[in-house]
Structure 1
Amino acid sequence: MSDLLSQRKDFKKRVATQPIVTQRRALTPSTAMSSRVQPRQLANATQIERAHEEASVLTRVHQIITFLKQSQRPCTADEIRLHISEFHNDGPEFQHLTNNAKVIHDAQTNTFSYRPEFDLRTADELVEYLKKLPDGGGLEVKKLADSYLDTSSVIAELHKNQKILIMSDKTKRPRYIFYNRMALETAIDEDVKTSWQQLQVPDEPELSREMERAGLKRMQAETREEKEQQDVKKTKRSSRNTKITNTHLVGIDLTKDYVPEGK
């Protein structure tokens, strides 16, 4: 009996000293699917986060360009940072500005300025630009929208002073402007003005004789009108002289019932 008890104690000791082995369980379909979906969800969430970040950067870049346009002068990085605190030399906004076609970056002074399509600041500069256009061409007004000019008032003043010509649209708003190359830049002599005012146009019969003596012809429109009137008179005259006669009805009184002879 004592041997059995000793054997039992030895068995318990051996069992207690054995390493514990965990049992592996097979993954169910739902568990396997969730393990695949989770990385995709993480990737999509990362892409969405990057897209939001890029949109925020572009929004700040637009705000900076608007600030530069309103400033109308080169601005330092510190001045820009007062309006956009996220602006840094090593940031994405800095990289976007240096590569933007509407921004001029001076690397030596590290300043930024707005680049309009037409860098015109005064009315005289606009007139000089129009003068240099080839073949007397004009400039579309809407292209001056991003310039530093007060477009409406400048165009109105130049047109009033006869320095430019305007082609308007259906709403009578200026659409194209041209340099007025026909403007008289020299004063007319007073004797010429007096002689012009003293000229008198003669009466129509006398005017015709004066034109004939000078070897001038009358307007073609008047000659054509007289010819048309003559053609109308000839047509009326010929219609009155026309007479239609039915020879087979001669001697028959159409006011009575006609009965052939012998009946």
Structure 2
Amino acid sequence: SQQQQPSPPQLLWTLTEERSVESVGVSGPGGGSKNNQILCLACSADGQRFLTGGADGGIRVYDTRRRGLSNLCQAGSLTAGRVDGHRGRVCALTYHPQGRRRPAEFGHLFVSGGWDNTVQIWDDRRQRSLWVYFGPHVCGSDAIDVDPAQGHILTGSWERHKSMLQVWKFNEDAAHGRLDLDDKSVQEDMLRGRPLGELQQDPTGTPSMGYVAQWLGTQYMVFAGSNANALKIVDRSTLNVR
């Protein structure tokens, strides 16, 4: 098999001058892994932090002011009924868009997805995830988005036998620490969680394996994927493809 190469340092750029302004290394405790490949990234609304996700399942939080790693978000011990991190590749990351207007409440919250068929809510100051949605096999770095108005999470799944798009309610109670995640009833609610809506594969056409799922304004969603090589505009209220 082809040997994986270590990921290079992340470069920070200024768009106005089109030049690199900093190089942020990934060395140090928890900062890098010779077997890791960076697959996605996201920047906080205030520009003070950015995230990287990759093949080793960890999500690294970097401080742009201190120019180094500030936290490593990853799964703890795997116990029955409790998932608190990814167990495979992390392929998509996005900060909550309300971090721009309400930084005290949402500035540190982000959502991730990956190959382990989970979508997870995190606080970038903590090591373990705060809530988990089960189902979507997320492969594309643009396959997760959060609606700034209603806070709904949009995900795109790569698996052809499942739905293409899923819409989930962002669990603010879990994100803001108002739930006891060790409570068995809370864990059962997590396991039973279902999307608010989902768009099924076309049974008469070629299945589309999703890489892109994004909100398009307040009325539409965009889906794109391989296999069928199609881009679809979906009505949010009816889930009809336009």
TM-score tier, shorter chain, comes to under 0.3
The structure with the greater share of residues assigned to helix is: 1
Q: Scaled by the length of structure 2, what TM-score is found?
A: 0.20
Task: Answer with 1 or 2: which has the greater Rg.
Answer: 1
Higher strand share: 2
